[in-house]
């Protein structure tokens, strides 16, 4: 008789993600405290809830690859900074899930992508997701890092918007 059980299947998805990105193994340390969600700018304007994403991964629920949620994350690393556990790299997990989503032929849905682009552009221009200032400005170091990522991904309009914003601030 085969010793393979349903719980083995649940861990198979987690193990696949670890095989792709070794650092993903640390998500098992998540204590589901909610600090990441409470400090997340994307959760303020969407249904993004990183605790739910991590929970799905740990349950082996591959539907997370077809969820809109993974496309709302700004990769700003606020979750990583407030997490009480060491070495849980949620942005890296989100990038890995997005890559897996594309491999499976899902990717973002048009309406989700449009919202994501609008929110991301606002975030890169001003460091905030919402129109009203919240005092949650993104550090310039992180804006520069995101601009480098956009350049690597050949997303030039974000650079243009970012430069236009800097020019208007100087005037």
**30 CB-side CA count, 13 A:** 25
What are the sequence ranges of the domains in the chain? 12-103, 114-170
pLDDT (mean) for 142-168: 55
Q: pLDDT for 79-108, tens place per residue? A: 999 999 988 999 999 999 998 988 888 877
**pLDDT tens figures, 10-66:** 678 888 888 878 888 899 999 999 999 998 988 887 889 999 999 999 999 999 999
User: Which of the two residues, 158 and 156, has the higher pLDDT score?
Assistant: 156
67's CB contacts (< 8 A; 6+ apart) are 53, 56
Name the average pLDDT for the chain.
75
pLDDT of 1 above 90: no
Question: Structure pTM?
Answer: 0.64
Q: Rounded to whole angstroms, how far apart are CA atoms 126 and 111?
A: 23
Distant-in-sequence, close-in-space partners of 136: CB < 8 Å, separation ≥ 6 = 41, 127, 128
What pLDDT is stored for residue 13 in this prediction? 85
pLDDT at 130 over 60: no
Whether 75 shows a pLDDT value over 80: the answer reads yes
pLDDT of residue 3: 41
Q: Give the Cβ contact number of residue 126 at 10 Å.
A: 18
């Amino acid at each position: 008789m085969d010793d393979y059980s349903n719980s083995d299947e649940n861990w198979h998805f987690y193990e696949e993600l670890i095989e792709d990105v070794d650092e993903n193994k640390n998500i098992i340390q998540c204590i589901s405290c909610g600090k990441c969600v409470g400090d997340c700018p994307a959760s303020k304007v969407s249904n993004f809830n990183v605790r739910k994403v991590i929970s799905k991964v740990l349950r082996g629920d591959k539907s997370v690859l077809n969820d809109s949620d993974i496309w709302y994350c700004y990769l700003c690393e606020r979750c990583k900074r407030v997490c009480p556990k060491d070495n849980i790299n949620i942005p890296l997990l989100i990038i890995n899930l997005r890559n897996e989503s594309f491999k499976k032929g899902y990717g973002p849905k048009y309406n989700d992508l449009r919202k994501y682009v609008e929110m991301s552009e606002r975030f890169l221009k001003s460091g905030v997701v919402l129109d009203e200032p919240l005092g949650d400005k993104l550090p310039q170091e992180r804006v520069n890092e995101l601009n480098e990522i956009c350049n690597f991904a050949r997303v030039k309009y974000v650079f243009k918007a970012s430069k236009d914003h800097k020019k208007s601030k100087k005037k």
